[in-house]
Amino acid sequence: MTLINTQIHLVSRPQGEPSTANFARVDAPVPALQEGQVLVRHQFLSLDPYMRGRMNDSKSYADPQPLNTTMIGGTVGVVEQSMHPAFQVGDPVVGMGGWQRYSVVDANQPGLLRKVDPRLPLSAYLGAVGMPGVTAWYGLTQIMQPQQGQTVTVSAASGAVGGAVGQLAKARGCRVVGIAGGPDKCAYVKGELGFDECIDYKACPDLKSLLTALKAACPQGIDAHFENVGGQILDAVMLRSNAFARIAICGMIAGYNGNPLPMANPSLILVNRMRIEGFIVSEHMQLWPQALKELGGMVAQGQLKYRESIAQGLESAPEAFMGLLKGRNFGKQLVRID
């Protein structure tokens, strides 16, 4: 019997905020496997802010998502069929299968498919022990390089990346202050993730009030910062940063729908001799094994905590993605496909 694959395609470029009209469901037969290929049945799909940038037909660090093709995305699942000796039916695997129920993977190509330890929850390989966790680890250890006793701040602190940054920094003896949206998220960041403080940016509607909150939470200034949002939050952090502060730029979600993000005080980069560096974690694959070893060990021992928001069914992916861009998710945003 021929398997039918359900896919979600990008069918038009969003103008500003994405809408459900930019996506379409497509059903297509699963092709027969060729030598060296593996068929994966996906269980979870990862939704991430970077996907918004891929929807634009503009110059960026990666090619735009082609129209009328399956949306890109990280997936975890199990091997359904295999014509490759390294993969057996039933193996749990992680890859970039996209917004679809099945994917056919050329397992001879390095890095496209990776077997995972079944002792950890499968969904964790899309979050704490996956790309978001490695993103947090790289930005913290390779760019921010905080020392024990220094103050670290993190925007989008309740998210999959931000939450991991803070816990990794706490494990290194730092004072950690998160920035998140709403009292519930801030309570989670402090109470469950163990941050020292958390600022509710929704209660600080302008630069002055946000800076006041940062001064209270960071009396010794800011030595290192992990940026997921940009805009006013970054401006406030820069005003509170110490000399030789390091800022890792992971995302600029405040501008993903086309809003300009001018920097209010760029002279602070010179005055404070600051290091501000953007990075794309997929460009540093040589460090992933080191990162995953630490992250996996911490999750296994209960030292790295995380929360997941799970949408049910592949057809819910567009709505869940739009909610992610508006901060409606709590922790890592996933879609349960099965």
Same-domain pairing of 107 and 203: no
Mean pLDDT for the stretch of residues 79-84: 97
Asked whether residue 301 is assigned to any structural domain, the reply reads: no
Asked whether residue 298 is assigned to any structural domain, the reply reads: no
Asked whether residue 296 is assigned to any structural domain, the reply reads: no
* Domain count of the fold of the chain: 2
Same-domain pairing of 169 and 46: no
Do residues 158 and 183 touch, judged by C-beta distance below 8 A? no
pLDDT band at 58 (very low <50, low <70, confident <90, very high): confident
Provide the sign of the torsion angle of the four alpha carbons 231, 249, 318, 22, taken in this order. positive
Residue 71 has pLDDT above 90, yes or no: yes
Same-domain pairing of 180 and 246: yes
What pLDDT score does 324 carry?
93
Mean pLDDT for the stretch of residues 19-47: 97
Same-domain pairing of 143 and 263: yes
Q: Please give the helix or strand (H or E) that residue 154 lies within, else none.
A: strand 151-155
Asked whether residue 9 is assigned to any structural domain, the reply reads: yes
Same-domain pairing of 109 and 186: no
The CATH number of residue 104's host domain is 3.90.180.10
Asked whether residue 291 is assigned to any structural domain, the reply reads: no
Same-domain pairing of 118 and 146: no
Helix axes 131-138, 288-300, angle to 10 degrees: 110
Same-domain pairing of 211 and 224: yes
Which residues are within 8 A (CB) of 284 and not within 5 positions of it... i.e. 6 or more apart? Answer: 138, 142
What pLDDT score does 255 carry?
74
Domain extent, residue 330, equals: 4-127+307-336
Which tens digit of pLDDT belongs to each residue from 265-309? 999 999 999 999 999 999 999 999 999 999 999 999 999 999 999
Asked whether residue 121 is assigned to any structural domain, the reply reads: yes
Same-domain pairing of 18 and 35: yes
Question: Which residue(s) pair with 93 in the sheet?
Answer: 77, 115
